[in-house]
């Protein structure tokens, strides 16, 4: 690598969209594009990850980061996706699963109280206020909005595992994931309520998420296998693990905000905001007698400590080997467990956890005999903030002062889906990354 004017760091969805629309070179650590939003294949007869489905189609399809379903209302970004690949549209099928009661309650729980015992439903209706009081922590926000009954039943135990114990310390965020509308709560306690939430409908490419990233990558100038080890923000020089170096005028970075501070050696006064990692366990197995038809289910309590189980093959049967499609005999699924940032389990821990997950899912009747198990570690999976924290704003502004513009979900340290990430990448050149400090 030599002198470049502007360089994009990371060939995930945001980086690919930025590379396509700007023509700027993209540096990617891996040998393939897409980041955690990419598919791969594993044959029941082997344990090797395959970049493409074998010719006979006998492989389970998984995604590195678990199910990444495309939700959002940005018409320009959706049109962009549809130009890249054919997609199908889905109406969400999702539940909260109480395994001790063998009970599935449609998501969102608060709008489907009629599925709970009447005494619980009535008490919950009385306690839900729908009043957005000022809350310091996520725990306070949940308690004030949903009341003691639903918090003890679901919201507290679920968020304990979902945030790896952070929810009593971090600021409230992503309220649109659990919308509070008292009228819909009352309606759902008696009868049907309309589907609400951020992913009531979603899209997914007919030929897999990989097709989207690969099609975009073909229109980009990507330098693969370039893992950045250090950035000198004063001399504007990148150093990579393969020994190569490059100078630049401006960086468009999709890499996690905390990682960028580490690599540049820059620091801010505020305490760094926390994050959680996620261990994604991809499994291909015989379908259990009680396997749900949901696209995913939220789990408030499990012996193994996971918080969500998603069913790839309930979205698209092409996640299954070709010989079992259409037979309802097998299932391709993913299981998510959160860890505090920086607390990565050992290989022995992962093996023990895997065995526990398989046993538990078999006890629930979700799966039978297992054919494939493949774990993925997502180091920075969910980003959070401390109450009244200024770390994010300070860090983004400091990097920007050195001509490093943070974009995307992890670059800006905020939750967003694929549609928003694509829209942000598409606007990098024309808007000169103006959103990076918004």
**C-alpha to C-alpha distance for 228 and 245, rounded to whole angstroms:** 9
**Does residue 99 contact residue 366 with C-beta atoms inside 8 Å?**
no
Considering the domain architecture, whether residues 372 and 289 belong to the same structural domain is answered as: yes
167 lies in a domain?
yes
Which whole number is the average pLDDT over 372-379? 96
pLDDT at position 233, please? 97
Cα–Cα distance for residue pair 154/136, rounded to 1 Å = 20
Q: Kindly give, in sequence order, each residue whose CB lies less than 8 Å from that of residue 62, ignoring residues fewer than 6 positions away.
A: 39, 40, 41, 42, 282, 284, 312, 319, 332, 334, 374
Residue 438 pLDDT > 80 = no
Residue 400 buriedness (CB in 10 A; 0-12 / 13-18 / 19+)? middle
pLDDT tops 90 at residue 45 = no
Task: Looking at the structure, tell me whether residues 269 and 394 fall in a common domain.
Answer: yes
Q: What is the pLDDT of residue 2?
A: 63
Same domain (yes/no): 294, 265: no
Confidence (pLDDT) at 433: 52
Assess whether pLDDT exceeds 50 at residue 119.
yes
The confidence score (pLDDT) of residue 372 equals 97
Q: Which of 60-64, 189-193, 373-377 has the lowest mean pLDDT?
A: 189-193
Are 261 and 301 within one domain? no
Residue 405 CA, distance from chain mean position: 22
Angle subtended at Cα 72 by Cα 69 and Cα 75, rounded to the nearest 5 degrees: 125
Looking at residue 192, its pLDDT comes to: 85
Containing structural domain, residue 315: 39-92+275-383
229 part of a folded domain: yes
With pLDDT > 70 as the criterion, what percentage of the chain qualifies?
A: 96
CATH number at residue 426: 3.50.50.60
Establish if 197 belongs to a structural domain.
Answer: no
Q: pLDDT tens across 134-153, in order?
A: 889 999 999 999 999 999 99
Spatial distance between the Cα atoms of 437 and 76, rounded to a whole number of angstroms: 22
Summarize the confidence of residues 318-323 as an average pLDDT: 97
Name which of 158-172, 181-195, 250-264, 336-350 the model is least confident about.
181-195
Q: What is the mean pLDDT of the chain?
A: 93
- pLDDT exceeds 50 at position 11: yes
Based on the domain organization, do 345 and 394 belong to the same domain? no
Residues 295 and 350 in one domain: yes
Query: What's the pLDDT score for residue 434?
Result: 42
Whichever domain contains 331, its CATH number is: 3.90.660.20
Query: What DSSP string runs through 41-107?
Result: EE-TT----BSS--TT--SEEEETTS---B----HHHHHHHHHHS-EEEEE--EEEEETTTTEEEES
pLDDT digits (tens, 9 = 90+) for 220-243: 999 999 999 999 999 999 999 999
212 in a structural domain: no
**Overall average pLDDT of the 412-421 stretch:** 92
Cβ atoms of 295 and 69 closer than 8 Å: yes
Which residues are paired to 130 by β-bridges?
A: none
Phi, psi angles (nearest 5°) of residue 330: -135, 165
Model confidence at 404: pLDDT above 60: yes
355 and 365 part of one domain: yes
Which pLDDT belongs to residue 194?
Answer: 87
Q: Tell me how far apart the alpha carbons of residues 125 and 46 are, in angstroms, rounded to a whole number.
A: 51
- Number of structural domains, the chain? 3
Closest CA to 97 of 287, 356, 333, 300: 300
């Amino acid at each position: 690598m030599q002198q470049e004017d502007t360089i994009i760091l990371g060939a995930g969805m945001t980086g690919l969209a930025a590379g396509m629309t700007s023509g700027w070179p993209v540096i990617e650590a891996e040998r393939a594009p897409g980041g955690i939003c990419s598919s791969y294949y594993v044959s029941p007869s082997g344990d090797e990850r395959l970049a493409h489905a074998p010719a006979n189609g006998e492989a389970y399809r998984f995604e590195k980061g678990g199910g990444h379903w495309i939700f959002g209302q940005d018409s320009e970004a959706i049109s962009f996706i549809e130009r890249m690949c054919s997609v199908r549209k889905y109406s969400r099928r999702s539940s909260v699963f109480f395994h001790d009661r063998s009970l599935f309650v449609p998501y969102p729980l608060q709008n489907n109280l009629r599925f709970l015992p009447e005494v619980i439903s009535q008490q919950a209706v009385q306690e839900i206020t729908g009043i957005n009081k000022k809350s310091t922590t996520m725990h306070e926000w949940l308690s004030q909005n949903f009341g003691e009954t639903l918090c003890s039943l679901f919201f507290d135990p679920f968020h304990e595992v979902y945030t790896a114990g952070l929810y009593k310390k971090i600021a409230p965020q992503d309220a649109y994931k659990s919308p509070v509308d008292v009228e819909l709560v009352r309606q759902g306690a008696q009868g049907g309520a309309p589907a609400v939430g951020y992913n009531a409908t979603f899209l997914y490419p007919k030929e897999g998420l990989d097709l989207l990233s690969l099609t975009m990558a073909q229109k980009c100038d990507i330098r693969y296998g370039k893992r950045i080890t250090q950035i000198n923000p004063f001399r504007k020089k990148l150093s990579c693990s393969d020994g190569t170096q490059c100078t630049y005028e401006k960086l468009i970075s999709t890499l996690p905000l905390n990682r960028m501070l580490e690599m540049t050696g820059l620091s801010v006064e505020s305490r760094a905001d926390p994050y959680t990692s996620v261990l994604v366990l991809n499994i291909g197995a015989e379908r259990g007698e009680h396997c749900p038809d949901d696209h995913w289910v939220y789990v408030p309590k499990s012996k193994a400590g996971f918080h969500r189980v998603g069913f790839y093959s309930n979205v698209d049967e092409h996640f299954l080997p070709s010989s079992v499609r259409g037979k309802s005999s097998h299932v391709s699924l993913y299981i998510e467990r959160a860890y505090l940032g920086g607390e990565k389990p050992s290989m022995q821990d992962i093996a023990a956890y895997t065995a526990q997950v398989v046993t538990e899912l078999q006890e629930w009747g979700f799966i039978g005999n297992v054919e494939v198990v493949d774990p993925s570690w997502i180091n920075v999976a969910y980003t959070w903030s401390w109450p009244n924290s200024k770390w994010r704003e300070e860090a983004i502004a400091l990097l920007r002062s050195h001509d490093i513009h943070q974009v995307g979900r992890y670059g800006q340290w905020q939750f967003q889906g694929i549609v928003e990430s694509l829209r942000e990448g598409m606007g990098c050149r024309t808007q000169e990354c103006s959103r990076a400090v918004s």
